Structure 1
């Protein structure tokens, strides 16, 4: 006897079409993230055209508020009036560009486009998580607690000063914070661990943003955009994440490129960016013993001169 024929496999259901508003959000969001990370906060393209950026932001500020921007100087703060105004300018340009893009192209975004968007966000996140993670291993961000700081009372401290002394008091905890940033950076480099890396990066950056907000650290805008990049990466993988949560099977992540030159070029660019960031960061970091000696010498020098800390600044008694 012959066995009955096996039932035919059900035909795959076609993917639902993208609505116009979803395509607009995708296009405008792509333009915004690209412009912000390339020429906005801590621009990847450098600050060679700083005067043009300031002039553009000043023009928008005059248009909205009828007065020029406050004088712009490089203070290390990423939350100045210039930074917020320029981010608003980038948002406006991106919304306009996204609208034109959506009207000009009514096709659904291709898998290659979504993959390249994800790859760009992976590089940005891995780059900055590496920079901030390495700085904690070398005590280049918080430093180490020195005797002069111990003379500061809580009442004389700013919220940011309290956070900095809390971190500076423990080299071990700075190592832990560095691992929390370097681990997702490494996971983001391989396509099989991108989702896990984005998930850990989102948790890490949520904590960083909360510290910046509630301790008034002037890197709120930039840390919020790094968190946004991690969330967008997770959203691009939303279907596979939902399948994992609900216990359903899901397809493996497709190969990284559809062109023979795309993958090698992407790896070369990524290696150059990360290599430059690592070299630049490590070259400016003190070693543990050197950092301890410098902290002790600085504190002793200020104490012998009769100085103490008030609102994070040395004042004579």
Structure 2
């Protein structure tokens, strides 16, 4: 497919038909309505038959898992995600075959080609700008909290390690965000779309390598974004080869230039752009608001709890004082009260939310500062344990409560624990490796 395809080879037209169907299925043009409050149901309604087909094909053909997990809690690489990916590939292949049988004589589809490139271009622009603007304000990856800093490095999974690596350095996160924002802005303006597509290949290639190298569960989506970027660059391959390899003159691109003979049709370009900005604006506003609220909550202190790391000086369970021992994984050794009512303790307790060797909880003191409720999640109605709380000194907390059938009595001593990583050190001169 050339920049302004008038004819192409048989393999080229087959490839176009496959690509057209595949990108329509994967990027779902109706997804632009998802950010509009009145119409957010529309893209999901269209997805229902494809979801049903995905489950059907998994049962009859893929057998990825007996029961597909459709809701990954932030993971895009679920068993359902892979089954859906295979379903889209099969549908695109079969659709291209049927299309070829039904229309064997056509050698090109200039109008469909134009609109497909518009869909891919605007989708990449929206995704790049959305993720980029969050990074520019350092809101996507957060600085490691105290519970994370207290976790031994060897206990982390690579995905969490990479997330903290980026979140630690605001300048690096902002730098990567600016690159993604540049992709979005360049793709949005048709005269710079090729430059945006070239930059997108570099940006998304880096994202894909991070996802695959650190086992970040966005492999499917990021791979498709990279493929889409390459698709846009491929449309301009003749001009690129002439300029960069053959050192010969090349003509201006006509890929996104559509000639309109009727006056009212000229307004479609303005309508198209306005529609994209309108729908994209809703989605971006919701996303930005969510991450902004999250960032503000990360500095919220719940009085009278002083955030910090506390040593469990005394641990009494059902009347028995359990001495501290590194060999005892059930005895609590330290408790961290972080900001925004989040906390963790160093012990194995499956009744809490276990992550990387620590048990996580949400805490909420009452208005008098005499009671402290611990929940698995802040959204839970019932408390997992309710403590009567005393704070005889600024650096000491006494908790006495009932957890299930067990009574617990704890004396916590606040530690003056300093994590060097919080200093965000930078040195122009380093006389030795540190």
Structure 2 Cα separation of the partners of residues 124 and 20 of structure 1: 28
Contact 2:32 2:279 in 1 (8 A): no
Contact 1:145 1:168 in 2 (8 A): yes
Pairing 1:55–2:45 present:
no
| Aligned match of 2:291 | 285
Q: Would the alpha carbon gap of residues 47 and 124 (structure 1) be closer, same or farther in structure 2, given more than 3 Å must change?
A: same
Paired residue secondary structure (2:106): coil
Map residues 131-280 of structure 1 onto 2, 5 A cutoff.
Answer: 131-245=130-244, 246-254=246-254, 256-259=257-260, 260=265, 261-280=267-286
- Report the RMSD for the aligned CA atoms in angstroms: 3.2
Contact 1:139 1:291 in 2 (8 A): no
Structure number with higher helix proportion:
1
Paired residue secondary structure (2:336): helix
- Quote how far apart the aligned CAs of 1:95 are: 0.8
- Quote how far apart the aligned CAs of 1:93 are: 1.0
Cα deviation digits, residues 71-116 of structure 1 (max 9, x gap): 4334211111111111111111111111222231422224443322
Cα deviation digits, residues 18-67 of structure 1 (max 9, x gap): 22221111111110011111189999664346654442211101111567
Higher relative contact order (CA 8 A, sep 6+): 1
Contact 1:77 1:219 in 2 (8 A): yes
Q: Which moved more, 1:56-65 or 1:156-165?
A: 56-65
Structure 1 Cα separation of the partners of residues 55 and 130 of structure 2: 30
Larger Rg: 2
Instruction: State TM-score, norm by structure 1.
Output: 0.84
Structure 1 Cα separation of the partners of residues 249 and 167 of structure 2: 46
- Quote how far apart the aligned CAs of 1:153 are: 1.3
Instruction: State TM-score, norm by structure 2.
Output: 0.63
Contact 2:7 2:108 in 1 (8 A): no
Q: Which runs of 5+ in 1 are unaligned?
A: 1-14
| Aligned match of 1:94 | 92
Structure 2 Cα separation of the partners of residues 138 and 308 of structure 1: 33
| Aligned match of 1:23 | 13
Aligned length: 303
- Quote how far apart the aligned CAs of 1:137 are: 2.7
Paired residue secondary structure (1:303): strand
Paired residue secondary structure (1:284): helix
Structure 2 Cα separation of the partners of residues 153 and 113 of structure 1: 54
